[in-house]
């Protein structure tokens, strides 16, 4: 696979479409088993998770719902920053089994700040499924229940992930080229 250029940066192939799809298929099998009879609500975090969500949800064979929220983080004066809900939940999640779908967990900031808000809505359970897990970058404690692929602490694009808004429309995932 050739490298790609997005704006000023070059990215090298990192995870093939086949690898990504295989991992998602494995996750779907696991979720179909774990959530049988529980009518889970898959809660996808926009924007990055939209392709992951679509490919995973097509392989969910049990009774299930999907919904979307959009979280944005702002760097304030505090070191933790703030996470605001740009598009919120439009359904009642009380007593529902929720599976959060994230494209990538990096510092953990986004989910660490959002999870207490979700807990306030009294769901029956909340678990987190991520496509990519940058384990070494974690700074805010978040328990990941389902993780497809562990990756090193390097910037990646493709398959929903962007560099300055671009690059989401790649079937594979690319890693920032070291100089
Ligand atoms: P935190 O730090 O809150 O980050 O766990 C989660 C969000 O940050 C974005 N992110 C990335 N986006 N390539 C990207 O295109 C990356 O390597 C990367 N690391 C973090 C992403 O939006 C994710 O939801
Ligand atoms: Mg994201």
Q: Give the residue whose CA is nearest to atom 23 of ligand 1.
A: 104
Whole-number mean pLDDT of the chain?
A: 94
Token readout for 147 is: 């993780």
Q: Does residue 50 carry a pLDDT above 70?
A: yes
Which residues have beta carbons under 5 A from ligand 2 (an ion)?
A: 48
141-157 confidence digits (pLDDT tens): 999 999 999 999 999 99
**16-151 is classed CATH 3.90.1150.10:** no
* Nearest atom within ligand 1 for CA of residue 48: 22
CA of 104 to the centre of ligand 2 (A): 7
Q: Does residue 11 carry a pLDDT above 70?
A: yes
81-97 confidence digits (pLDDT tens): 678 898 999 999 999 99
Ligand 1 touching residue 129 (CB < 6 A):
no
Ligand 1 touching residue 104 (CB < 6 A):
yes
- Parse the chain into domains and list their residue ranges: 16-151
Token readout for 99 is: 């599976």
pLDDT score, position 79: 46
Q: Does residue 77 carry a pLDDT above 80?
A: no
Please, which pLDDT band fits residue 1 given cuts at 50, 70 and 90?
confident
* Nearest atom within ligand 1 for CA of residue 107: 2
Q: Give the residue whose CA is nearest to atom 20 of ligand 1.
A: 106
Ligand 1 touching residue 44 (CB < 6 A):
no
Residue 106: active-site member: yes
Please, which pLDDT band fits residue 124 given cuts at 50, 70 and 90?
very high
The answer to whether 67 and 92 are in contact (CB under 8 A) is no
CA of 18 to the centre of ligand 1 (A): 22
Q: What is the pTM of this model?
A: 0.95
Kindly name the residue from 55, 90, 95, 106 that is annotated as catalytic: 106
In percent, how much of the chain has pLDDT > 70?
96
């Amino acid at each position: 696979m050739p490298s790609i250029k997005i704006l000023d940066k070059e990215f090298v192939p990192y995870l093939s479409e086949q690898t990504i799809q295989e991992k998602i298929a494995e996750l779907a099998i696991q979720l179909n088993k774990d959530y049988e009879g529980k009518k889970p609500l898959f809660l996808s975090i926009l924007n990055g998770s939209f392709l992951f969500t679509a490919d995973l949800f097509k392989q969910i064979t049990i009774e299930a719902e999907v919904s979307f929220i959009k979280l944005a983080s702002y760097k304030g004066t505090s070191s933790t920053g703030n996470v605001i809900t740009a598009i919120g939940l439009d359904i009642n999640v009380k007593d529902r089994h929720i599976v959060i779908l994230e494209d990538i967990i990096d510092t953990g900031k986004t989910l660490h700040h959002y999870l207490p808000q979700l807990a306030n809505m009294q769901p029956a359970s909340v678990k987190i499924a991520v496509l990519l897990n940058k384990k070494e970058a974690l700074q805010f404690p978040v328990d990941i229940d389902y993780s497809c692929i562990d990756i090193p602490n390097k910037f990646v694009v493709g398959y929903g992930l962007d560099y300055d808004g671009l690059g989401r429309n790649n079937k594979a995932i690319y890693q920032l080229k070291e100089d």
